[in-house]
Amino acid sequence: MNVKSTWLYRMVMMIVIVAVVIGPMNIAGAAGSRTDRVDRPWMNTSLSAEKRTALLLQEMTLEEKIDLVTGKVNNYYGFYNNPIERLGIPALTMADGPAGVRIANPDVQDKQSTALPAPIALAATWDTEAAKQYGDLLGDEAYNTTHNVVLGPGMDIARIPWGSRNFESMGEDPLLQSQMATAYVKGIQSHPVLATAKHYLMNNQETERFTTNVKVSDRALHEIYIRPFQEAIAKADLGGAMCSFNKVNGEPACENKTLLTDLLKKEMQFKGFVMSDYGANLSTAESANSGLDLETPGTPYGKWGDQLLAAVKNGKVSEKTIDDKARRILVQMFSKGLFDHPVQNNQIDVRDHGKKARQLAEESMVLLQNKNNALPLSKDKLKSIAVIGPDADNGTVAGGGSSLVNPTYTVSPLEAIRNRAGKGVTVQYAPGTDPISAGDIMPGPSAVPSSLLTTSDKKENISAGYATYGDVEQGLRGEYWSNNKMEGNPILVRNDGQVNMNLGFYNYQGLNAKSPKIPNTPTTLNGLISARWTGAIAAPKDGDYALSLTSLGSSKLYLDDKLFVDNQGAKLSTTKKNISLKAGEKHKIRIEYRADYQVNGRDSGGMVRLGWEPPADASDKLIDNAVKLAKKSDVAIIVTRTYDSEGYVERSDMELPNNQDRLIRAVAAANPKTIVVQMSGRAVQMDTWQDKVPAIVQAWFAGQEQGNAVARVLFGDVNPSGKLPVTFPVNEQSTPVSSPERFPGVNGIGDYSDGIFVGYRGYEKSGIQPAFAFGHGLSYTTFGYSDLKVKQHASGKKSTRTSTVEVSLKLKNTGKAAGAEVVQVYSGKLPTNVETPSRQLAGWSKIELKPGQEKKVRIELDPKALSYWDEKSKAWVMPSGEVPIYAGSSSQDIRLTGSVTIPAASKGKAAR
């Protein structure tokens, strides 16, 4: 079994391992007693964390130190290491973040916690105070649900606009991400809880995430990727960092001495400890000697524990090295209060935290487009609203994977719009498409809608003796085997609306961020699997279609008993074939799928989709119903969504999945007042419908209060003030990473030849016009900018002189509504022959203004925006000369231009 088969590993852990691993011990801690000061001098709180650690370390046996640095997991407590009762060392009890506290223990508050907006949504607030509150809430809930370590925040730069895990971090810009993440870490660590910055480093894509070897320059590392970590270390005394699965410049991240020791611990002066991502530690002595401090999760795939003990005994790892790991962990535990404040199980404040989640969600909404002031809606002018969208009635639209939390309650957009519209306004719902599922994370054409499929003999299908799930009117009969050869009786038979299956990691228990309309698939089918779907298909209109199969593993489509599409599926791929079909004419259909492949020696779980490419104006019953509803309503609100999750694939395109694009076009043609509310953790392609709808709201994955936040923005109770923390490109071909070398990489190498030109820096360099620029976001009011002034002060000795540049301007609310504007300042090209970005974020400020109100805004610029990392001297260099300065409402909506002249004396170590 490969150590990296993380989903399988988790499954095994969740299902097979029971609490006997740790028995009845109290992992929450064994801190102090009345005799502490005598027996345990390290419990003397008047001593420094370093002194307390030194006192404790000298009492610890080698075995105890090894125990401390070797993590464990079980399906009761989740992730932890053993407490060392003899010495009163509490366990590290870890809960996944970063969008809420993911509780594993069923005895703790029903495993429920507040589902916050995803970190990408938080980043869209551009509000560091909000980020601090977010972290504060997380720290509070972690502590009061028995956890002293939060596995978050995510600090992965969103290099790929459609990255499946972009929602867990704070966007594409290093300065924005640094400041937001630092405030977030401060918030968490204001409680006796450690934050864990992840993933160190370059976990910027999920495709091949376990194996990709990132080739990156020292300059790009310094100017882009390490900056959030660096800032959180320098300004928030970051407790933990989690090394990632991927390789960086040839070495796995968790045994990469350059990354862990040289860069993180020496250059960035990280005082905390490094833990491995779960299953990312591949070695014993190598990782221990490279700078990994804590292996998670340990057995059965662990390489530390007894093996590390043996490595010390046979001299491959020195005891001093182990001491340093233990010391790093203990210093953090002492300095952040983990010894003195044992974790608690206190009921979290559901109401208050729900309210905070709503406020954060409201602040995160980005008004992308608002032609003719289509928004806000006015209740007085409306009699009827059509709410449309596969998950508009679902309150738990969130990113999947380890970050998914079990919310204390949820509010769907439909419910909230209904409540807000109140009596006198009819609000009706139509899904418009089949529900969105993990299948939609796979690339390739949208799945054939259920309304075109019929089982031929429904009654017989669901015969006694089979487990049956679902009760769909349309769809195909699905039979499932837990071997990949269709041997024996199927273990599950049911009707499936669509053939759009993605199991494995995406289907382990409790981590399915999907519509409740989709039946659960038993986890016994997560490994080896074969499946067959049978029934009939009928086209909605005469015309030329393509039918396709997307699969990992072989899939065959038989039409009228003849093999029509044969997809080999050695890699996740699509095969399609054209066909002329007549409206309503039924064709017999059979799909056979076998998970007869291995990726890097492991089974990845079943992945298959029956897709279609219909003629442009083809419809289906779900769309027709939505169109009918839209026609008779004053306004149509379409709530779209993507399915984003960690795992091991990304879509290769940015289209909305599962026929939602066609839905929008059809509804917009039926009702010109069509508003799109877009729930996703990443950019989506909008070019086939953007011009057809007056208004678009980017609502992200906004947490458990998403419905209320959406409704309050739509009705103008909240004036939107969010700004994009990522560029939204027109499509996947028009981005700085649109080449196979850059994404997903060729022959296992992810070539970061885009260098420092990540995100908007890259679009600017290549002259690619995005759909919506970085920093973009409209308001229900307007803002006037004037009086730009740029002042410069140099301070310090000549050799280490630093330069502070301050920009000031006047901002006026020139409209009729109160609102907030994020004033952004960008620096231009630097006066040097070294290629630098034509625009990079140098600072910003978020200002609230009443109608007619004007304020002076002062923004100090980040010295790094006036400098570049010089690979030869291994230092930041601030070139002297004139630098253009731009102030505006987005990276492209520049309202004022000025410049600053950096004097020659400022050359040198301009930034750290």
Active site residues: 277
Report the residue from 5, 67, 89, 96 that binds ligand BGC according to the rule CB under 6 A: 96
Residues 6+ positions from 656 with CB-CB distance below 8 Å: 640, 641, 642, 664, 684, 685
Measured from the CB atom, is 181 or 847 closer to ligand BGC? 181
Measured from the CB atom, is 113 or 402 closer to ligand BGC? 402
Smallest gap from Cβ 334 to ligand BGC, in A, equals: 24
From 434, 416, 607, select the one nearest 514 (Cα to Cα): 434
Report the residue from 198, 327, 765, 895 that binds ligand BGC according to the rule CB under 6 A: 198
Tokens representing 129?
Answer: 């105070």
Binders of ligand BGC among residues 139 to 158 (CB under 6 A) are: 151
DSSP letter assigned to residue 448: P
From 895, 697, 891, select the one nearest 780 (Cα to Cα): 697
Interface map 504-543 toward ligand BGC (x if CB under 6 A): ----------------------------------------
Measured from the CB atom, is 141 or 277 closer to ligand BGC? 277
Smallest gap from Cβ 203 to ligand BGC, in A, equals: 7
Smallest gap from Cβ 14 to ligand BGC, in A, equals: 11
What is the three-class DSSP state of 163?
A: coil
Measured from the CB atom, is 282 or 768 closer to ligand BGC? 282
Binders of ligand BGC among residues 634 to 673 (CB under 6 A) are: 646
Across-strand partners of 478? Answer: 494, 533
Binders of ligand BGC among residues 264 to 293 (CB under 6 A) are: 277-278
Smallest gap from Cβ 398 to ligand BGC, in A, equals: 15
Cα(274)–Cα(226) distance, rounded to whole angstroms? 15
Give DSSP secondary structure letters for 653-703. S-SPTTTHHHHHHHHHHH-S-EEEEEE-SS----TTTGGG-SEEEE--S--
Strands 453-454 and 530-538: antiparallel
Residues 742-759 as b/e (b if ≥16 CB within 10 A, e otherwise) read: bbbbeeeebbbebbbbbb
Summary count for the chain: helices (H), strands (E): 20, 39
- Alpha-carbon dihedral 412, 416, 417, 419, rounded to 10 degrees: 140
Please count the residues of this chain forming the interface with ligand BGC, following the rule CB under 6 A: 8
Tokens representing 588?
Answer: 């017999």
Cα(92)–Cα(27) distance, rounded to whole angstroms? 8
What are the phi and psi torsion angles at 227 (to 5°)? -60, -45
Is the separation of the CB atoms in 446 and 459 below 8 Å? no
The CA-based angle 824-827-830, given to 5 degrees, is 175
Smallest gap from Cβ 641 to ligand BGC, in A, equals: 22
- By beta carbon distance, the residue nearest ligand BGC is 402
Measured from the CB atom, is 198 or 742 closer to ligand BGC? 198
Measured from the CB atom, is 272 or 720 closer to ligand BGC? 272
Measured from the CB atom, is 253 or 758 closer to ligand BGC? 253
Cα(453)–Cα(551) distance, rounded to whole angstroms? 20
**Extended strands (E) in 22-81:** 72-74, 78-80
The residue behind tokens 């093996």 is 307
From 208, 195, 108, select the one nearest 153 (Cα to Cα): 195
In Å, how far are 185, 400, 402, 441, 478 from 97, measured between CA atoms? 12, 12, 8, 21, 36
Measured from the CB atom, is 151 or 238 closer to ligand BGC? 151
Measured from the CB atom, is 329 or 830 closer to ligand BGC? 329
Measured from the CB atom, is 202 or 547 closer to ligand BGC? 202
Smallest gap from Cβ 232 to ligand BGC, in A, equals: 16
Cα(496)–Cα(478) distance, rounded to whole angstroms? 6
User: Is position 402 an interface residue for ligand BGC (rule: CB under 6 A)?
Assistant: yes
Measured from the CB atom, is 104 or 820 closer to ligand BGC? 104
Binders of ligand BGC among residues 352 to 371 (CB under 6 A) are: none
**Extended strands (E) in 42-129:** 72-74, 78-80, 93-96, 112-113
User: Would you call the peptide bond into 98 cis, given omega within 30 degrees of 0 as the criterion?
Assistant: yes
From 582, 701, 675, select the one nearest 99 (Cα to Cα): 701
Smallest gap from Cβ 645 to ligand BGC, in A, equals: 11
Measured from the CB atom, is 287 or 454 closer to ligand BGC? 287
Q: How far is CA 469 from the centre of its chain?
A: 30
Cα(328)–Cα(265) distance, rounded to whole angstroms? 11
Burial category of 74 from C-beta neighbours within 10 Å (exposed 0-12, middle 13-18, buried 19 and up): buried
Smallest gap from Cβ 82 to ligand BGC, in A, equals: 18
Strands 530-538 and 500-502: unpaired
Amino acid at 469: Y
What is the three-class DSSP state of 172?
A: coil
Across-strand partners of 902? Answer: 881
Measured from the CB atom, is 240 or 888 closer to ligand BGC? 240
Report the residue from 5, 6, 364, 530 that binds ligand BGC according to the rule CB under 6 A: 6
From 398, 354, 362, 425, select the one nearest 637 (Cα to Cα): 425
Cα(3)–Cα(436) distance, rounded to whole angstroms? 31
Binding site for ligand BGC (CB under 6 A): 6, 96, 151, 198, 277-278, 402, 646
